[in-house]
Structure 1
Amino acid sequence: MKASHRKKARELALQALYSYLMSGNDMKQVELHIATTNDMAKVDVAYFQDILQGIAKDPDAIDKAYKAYLGRLPEELDPIEKSIMRLATFELVHRIDTPFKVVINEAIELAKTFGAEESHKFINGALDKAVKTLRKDERA
């Protein structure tokens, strides 16, 4: 699968996670809506589904994994920042096939595209701290 297909999977996953947070709908409904309203031909669909299903299974565990690196509570994050942190943290913890530098870079790019003006700096700082614990073997 091409890297650009994973990039698109992350973009759509971010949109789904945001929708999930804002609507309170079931993740399966949100996933279905995103999949049927977008061209999925150039999307790593399995990656997209893995992210969404993995986060939906236990969002509190994902939030707990990054909470210590924020400098504020997860509840204080805006929905885009929270969605990006969940996405990146899920990848850092559960998708070790993706190098941590790629995870962080992609999260920063998502924050630049979809987040508030300076949110990419916040995301970068939090993930730089988190990766030291979540991927300590890879950083060694």
Structure 2
Amino acid sequence: MSDTPSSSAAAKRPPRQSRTGLTATGARKAAGKSNRTRAREFALQGLYQSLVGRNTVEEIDPFTRDLAGFSKADAAHFDALLHGCVEQADQLDALIVPLLDRPLAEISPVERAVLWIGVYEFQHCLDVPWRVVLNECVELAKEFGGTDGHKYVNGVLNGLAPSLRTLEVEADKAKTPRKA
């Protein structure tokens, strides 16, 4: 007699329940994503092409628009992020660099692109609350970046938020009771 469970015992076990809104790998399911979340994902892919492939926005934009699922993205937000981040790359880097613990060249292109998106949204998308920007960028880094890249993105953007969204961050801190 074997110590392994019999196939009949395995057949009686109920199937594993999937986590709502997540794929088997832990990534968010496409059905639960907002059109702005999708725009950020496509912008991230485009920014990656810019950073790694040195492709121009004129090449990246039409290519990205032809990708499956783009029709469900907020095209205007995608435009703002892709074009804005590429045009303002030097200014975005200048804000990011003081918070880094290593040279900019050592930051993964995915995390760098996610940081660009976060800083750009902090500065130009004032209709998006700073905590939403932060959360969306952390999720992008979890889904597309390295193992702990999301922690790095979180730390840098949390460090920039008070200077880029001063009133909003202060108002949030005033609402949150301090722990004793």
CA distance in 1, matches of 2:41, 2:67: 14
**1:42-61 correspondence runs (5 A):** 42-61=72-91
1:131 positional shift: 0.4
Deviation at 1:58, TM superposition (A): 2.2
How many equivalent pairs are there?
138
**Structure 2 length as normaliser, TM-score?**
0.73
Task: Return the alpha-carbon distance in structure 2 between the equivalents of residues 50 and 115 of structure 1.
Answer: 22
> Which structure has the larger Rg?
2
Q: How does 1:44-83 map to 2 (within 5 A)?
A: 44-83=74-113
Distance 1:69 1:130 in 2: 8
Alignment map for 1:1-140 (pairs within 5 Å) = 4-140=34-170
Q: Which has the higher contact order (CA 8 A, sep 6+)?
A: 1
> How well do the aligned residues superpose, as a CA RMSD in angstroms?
1.2
Aligned-pair CA distance for 1:22: 1.0
Which residue identity does 2:147 align to in structure 1? E
AA matched with 2:134: I
State TM-score, norm by structure 1.
Answer: 0.93
- By how many angstroms is 1:69 displaced? 1.7
- Measure, in 2, the Cα distance between the counterparts of 1:13 and 1:32: 12
Identity %: 34
User: How many angstroms apart in 2 are the aligned matches of 1:75 and 1:90?
Assistant: 20
Cα distance in 2, alignment partners of residues 132 and 72 from structure 1: 22
| Cα pair 2:50 2:56 within 8 Å, conserved | yes
Deviation at 1:65, TM superposition (A): 1.6
> Residue type matched to 1:45 in 2?
A
2:71 and 2:87 map into 1 onto residues whose CA distance is: 26
Runs (4+) of structure 1 exceeding 4 A deviation are none
Query: Which residue of 1 is the match for residue 15 of structure 2?
Result: none
Deviates more, 1:55-64 or 1:32-41: 32-41
Structure 2: gaps of 5 or more residues: 1-32, 171-180
Instruction: Look up the SS of the partner of 2:99 in the other structure.
Output: coil
Which runs of 5 or more structure 1 residues have no equivalent in the other structure? none
C-alpha distance in structure 1 between counterparts of 2:104 and 2:163, whole Å: 18
CA distance in 1, matches of 2:130, 2:103: 23
Q: Take 1:32 and 1:113, find their aligned partners in 2: how far apart are those partners?
A: 24
